[in-house]
Amino acid sequence: MSDHVHDENCQHEHEEEDIIVLTDEDGTEYKMVLVDSFAIDDREYAILLDRDDPEDDAVILRIDTEGEDEVLVNIEDEAEWEQVMNKYEELVAESNNE
């Protein structure tokens, strides 16, 4: 990955990013980029990267629906997390083979 800073001073076009602001339990906000999503059975999951530190590990959250809104939820069930990680590792392996 390059050390190029992608901001308003860049001299080239950038793809539109889906930015999501997450707030941790201490009130710290993180600008996250939605890089992909996937489904397992009837549940959807979002893969997010920290916009300010894209080399950091990805964050995977479940996408739940509350009324008409979609919300991102931590995965707390160990069996569900194991399924999600297995699927994520499959996706990474597939992308590395392309």
Q: Report pLDDT for 62.
A: 97
DSSP letters along 47-64, please? EEEETT-TTSPPEEEEEE
Contact residues for 4 (Cβ-Cβ < 8 A; gap 6+): 10
Please check whether residue 56 is in contact with residue 50, taking contact to mean a CB–CB distance below 8 angstroms: yes
Q: Identify the pLDDT of residue 15.
A: 57
Between CA 31 and CA 18 the distance in angstroms is 10
pLDDT tens per residue, the chain (98 residues)?
A: 334 444 454 444 545 678 899 988 899 999 999 999 999 999 999 999 999 887 888 899 999 999 999 999 999 999 999 999 999 999 888 888 87
Delimit the domains of the chain by residue range. 19-97
